[in-house]
Structures are given as C-alpha cells and as structure tokens.
C-alpha cells in the first residue's frame, strides 16, 4: 500500500528558483491543456489527456523551449491532473475545471523512474532528499516510512516549500488497539460526541486566532498594492492562514486515528455541509470544525485498518429520535441541548442520544431489516417503523 509523508524542505536560493520555475511550467501546461480541451470540444472533437500530452510533447521543443529547464514530469502530470478533474466533473463530483492562477496552490510532481546505475532517481538519506534534475535538498526531519519511493510532489504553502513523498510499504505504522462499535455525532460546540461518552472538543483554530487574523487583514488593506510592504504583509497573512490550517489538520488526524484504532465499526452522519453553511450566523463555526475533512480521514483510515464505516441517510433523525423507545420528537429546536422524550419520559443529551442512534445503525444486519424492525436492532427499529416509517438507507464502506 502507498502512504505519503509530507515534510518541509529547506532549499537554498537556487533550489527555490527551480521550484518556482517548475510550478510555473506545471501551471502553464495545465492552462494550455484546458484551453486546447475547450477548443477541440467546440470543434466537435473528443479530447483526452493522453492526446493533449502527445500534442504538447510534439510542440514544446520549438514553441516552449523553456519548459525543458525542469523535469518533464511537471507538465505531464499537470495534464494528467486536468484529465482527473474532467473525470470528476463528468461523474458530477466537482465543478468544471478552471484556469490556475500564480501563487495559488503552486505545486509540481516528479516521478521516481527506473533506477539509473542501480540507484533510484528519488532518494532520501537522513535529512536530505535527491530530486531529479536538481540534486540534494535539505529536509527538516527523517522519512517516517520505510519502503520504495514511488513519487514526489513539491508544493508551496505561504513562503514554505513541502515535499509529499509517496512510499510503498508492507506494514502499517500503527496496530489496532481493540475492537468496538461506536456512533459519532458531529457538532459545532463539540467536534464529535461518541456513543461511549467520549467527547472530541475540536481545535477551533480559526475562532482562536480570529482577532489576530482581522488585525492582520486590516493592516494589509491599508498598504499600497504596488509596494514591497504589501508583498511582505501578504506573506505574513498567508503564514497565519497556514498556521490555522495546520492546527486544524493536526487535531483532525489525531482524533480520527484514535477512533479508527479503537473501533472496527463506526456509524456517522451524511451531513449537508454546504447547506448548513448557508446560515450566516453559524457558517464560520461549521466550517471551522471541518466536518467533510473529518469524514474523509475516517473513511480512508478505515480502509487501511479494515474498519467499517456506516453512513446514515441524510434525513435520518439521529438527534430527534429517542434511543430508548424509538419515539421521534419532531419539535426539537437547535437551541435545545437536552430534551425529554414525551413517550417514555427519559431525559436525553442531544449529542449523546444522536451518537447512540448512530451506533444502533451499525448493529443492523441490513438497511431493510433496520427499517422494518427485523434483526439485531429489535424493538428499536420496529418503533421507528411504527412511529415515523423512517428508512435509514445505510451506505457501507469497507
């Protein structure tokens, strides 16, 4: 299996200049291919990323000789990325590809080709990495995984350069601690509430640094856009945004890894984050918790450690449903954090009750038996059918 270790680079001026050139070549190739794709499509042709790569290889020596100053993988992989973007667009998993802009998500890729003189093109020795067409570059830490290096992606965040090293490994870095079934309810005040009573507070990095972020943005707005101070402060603001993203990402990785290593069946919600963020009073808090990234990390880590993810239907009333008797409290408001079931008079914590319902979702033998009340979910599922006729619609991901 392939795992990626992202490590910071410490390039000198010459190496940083090469990185900027390679990012520029990759960006130009992507935009050139997107322009050709549109023209060919308007002429009734059926463009593909393979045909566009061949077309670029045929003309770049004469028309774009400066592209040969960097690794050939930079433009080729950029066009492959465009093909992947169109595949997602055709599957309705993303929007129509847009032209790239300088300074926004700059990156390029260098593949590890066949060994030359018994050595791979990309090598890591201690705190140094060998990059094709460039040589040895310092890195800030040792490579975390041991195995064959497959590819390398260089990217820039603010004024820092990073290398994402893809390594093929035979053994996972962690071992499952124990088995268990858990439901995970996501929220604003607390990132996640587990059915076993554990609570994941969430980093809330944007909220914590919001005052500093506003001050820095105001200072930038007062500077002349053509001045050197504007460029310097732009980098300063970019570093602050990167710090917020890093805090959030680090917290999510630790939380999701702990959940996957301690549970082999996990029930979660299928939240409409885009619709939820339309509420202007809650949008910043919702996006600060990063619900989609939490689910994405859970799903790919569950695949690595053979855990199972059960995703409830978007309209499954996890918060309004009494986990004891199955009665649905339809008048539950968002401000009500605790409520009492009108049928069995049991008091519930809103988040814990939702997590318990999601845990019950995992124990259903199939979506049909969970909805009609046959199987391991027993009277709980029957009560759902009798009171609200809810169809849970479980999606299973291994």
Active site residues per annotation = 185, 269, 351
d(CA 388, CA 329): 10
Contact 264, 306 (CB under 8 A): yes
Torsion-angle region of 85 (φ positive above 0: left; ψ -120 to 50: alpha; else: beta): alpha
Which residues are registered as beta bridge partners of 7? 163
Q: What is 249-267 written as a DSSP string?
A: HHHHHHHHHHHHHH-SEEE
Query: In the numeric block, which tokens belong to residue 378?
Result: 């027993």
User: What are the distances in angstroms from CA 396 to CA 198, 270, 302, 367, 382?
Assistant: 24, 12, 11, 10, 22
As a whole number of Å, the end-to-end CA separation of the chain is: 16
SS3 61: helix
């Amino acid at each position: 299996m392939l795992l990626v270790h992202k490590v910071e680079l410490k390039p000198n001026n010459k190496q940083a200049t090469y990185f900027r050139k390679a990012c520029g070549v990759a960006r130009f190739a992507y935009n050139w291919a997107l322009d050709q794709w549109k023209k060919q499509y308007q002429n009734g042709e059926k463009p593909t990323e393979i045909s566009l790569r061949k077309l670029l290889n045929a003309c770049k020596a004469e028309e774009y000789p400066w592209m040969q100053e960097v690794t050939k993988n930079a433009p080729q992989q950029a066009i492959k990325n465009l093909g992947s973007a169109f595949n997602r667009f055709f599957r309705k998993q993303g929007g129509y590809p847009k032209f790239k802009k300088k300074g926004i998500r700059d990156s390029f890729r260098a593949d590890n080709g066949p060994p030359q003189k018994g050595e791979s093109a990309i090598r890591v020795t201690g705190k140094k990495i060998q990059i094709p067409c460039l040589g040895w570059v310092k890195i800030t830490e040792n490579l975390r995984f041991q195995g064959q290096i497959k590819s390398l992606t260089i990217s820039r965040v603010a004024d820092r350069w990073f290398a994402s090293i893809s390594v093929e490994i035979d053994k996972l870095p962690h071992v499952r601690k124990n088995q268990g079934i858990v439901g995970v309810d996501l929220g604003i005040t607390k990132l996640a509430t587990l059915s076993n009573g554990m609570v994941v507070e969430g980093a809330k990095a944007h909220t914590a640094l919001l005052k500093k972020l506003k001050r820095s943005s105001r200072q930038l707005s007062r500077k002349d856009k053509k001045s050197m101070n504007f460029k310097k402060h732009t980098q300063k603001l970019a570093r602050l945004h990167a710090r917020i993203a890093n805090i959030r990402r680090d917290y999510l990785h630790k939380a999701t890894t702990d959940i996957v290593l301690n549970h082999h069946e996990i029930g979660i919600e299928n939240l409409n984050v885009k619709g939820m963020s339309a509420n202007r009073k809650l949008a910043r808090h919702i996006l600060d918790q990063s619900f989609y990234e939490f689910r994405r990390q859970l799903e790919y880590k569950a695949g690595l450690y053979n855990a199972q993810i059960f995703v409830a239907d978007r309209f499954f009333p996890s918060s309004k449903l009494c986990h004891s008797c199955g009665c649905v409290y339809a008048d539950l408001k968002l401000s009500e954090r605790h409520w009492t079931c009108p049928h069995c008079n049991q008091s519930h914590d809103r988040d814990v009750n939702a997590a318990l319902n999601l845990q019950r979702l995992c124990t259903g033998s199939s979506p049909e038996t969970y909805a009609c009340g046959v199987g391991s979910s027993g009277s709980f599922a029957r009560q759902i059918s009798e009171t609200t006729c809810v169809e849970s619609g479980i999606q299973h991901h291994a």
